[in-house]
Amino acid sequence: MTPRHRIRFPAAESKSLSQSEAFFFLVEGDEERRLRFHDYDAIYGRPGLYEQLFYDRLKCSSPRKVGEILKSALDANGLHLTERRVLDLGAGNGIMGEVLKSYGVARLVAVDIIEEARQAAERDRPGVYDEYYVADFTDLAPEMLEDLEGWSFDCLTSVAALGFDDIPVKAFLQALRLVADGGWVAFNIKESFLSSADQSGFSRFIRELIFSQYVDIHHLERYRHRLSMEGLPLYYFAFVGQKLADIPEDFLKRCGIEE
């Protein structure tokens, strides 16, 4: 049976913190430990803590939402998830993989940058992925790149992992290049990343990409990603598109983004 953890959210002054700075307190015995929401190594190391924090307390809906609209977009085009070879980028402990597996995808491969994520997925959801790579997509070794190319991916998913330095722009672009032309891409992003007021590198990259000749938009939907610690809705956009052509090496430079 998965243990329940004692979680305490900070006082009201935490409202001024950004999502990337948000933290909580984990009480273990007589010790109270402060953890950031993005301290994934520590969170994944405790069975059930990730789910209890983000899904039970904060009502995260993103894996289900992204999975549903990906399936819907494919169905509308006479295609089937059961025929897709999917790369799940920033896979964590496999929650999105579990959603994809329920749709019967043909092949499902995970990648994350930390070993603790793979260990948690193997512990919590054994058998969901056909393979789980721990790799830095900004600096792939030639043999790792060749191995990944051998899967012939025609679908990429990335959920709750983009735009907060968890997955850099360069890493996401490398994952896109692994998807065959005509393949599908599904991800979610914070709503502000589509605003021209946000001039961060990731925001500019996403806007340039989804309105470029390299990707065709099939579904773009604003939805409630999860609740904040104060119980307020945090809105994201869910995106599904089709890759039309290889993305050139100089794409980031042309977007005015330093690699």
d(CA 141, CA 34): 35
Residue appearing with tokens 């992925």: 129
Extents of the domains making up the chain: 6-57, 62-254
d(CA 31, CA 10): 16
d(CA 72, CA 77): 9
Residue appearing with tokens 């830095």: 136
Classified as helix, coil or strand, 174 is: helix
pTM beyond 0.85: the answer is yes
Q: What is the pLDDT along the chain (259 residues), one digit of tens a residue?
A: 677 999 999 876 555 566 667 899 999 999 999 999 999 999 999 999 999 999 999 999 999 999 999 999 999 999 999 999 999 999 999 999 999 999 999 999 999 999 999 999 999 999 999 999 999 999 999 999 999 999 999 999 999 878 666 688 889 999 999 999 999 999 998 888 777 766 666 778 888 888 889 999 999 999 999 999 889 999 999 999 999 998 888 887 877 766 5
Quickly name the fold that domain 62-254 has. Rossmann fold (3.40.50)
Do the beta carbons of residue 189 and residue 239 sit within 8 Å?
Answer: yes
Rg (CA), the chain: 18
The DSSP letter of residue 162 is B
d(CA 132, CA 89): 10
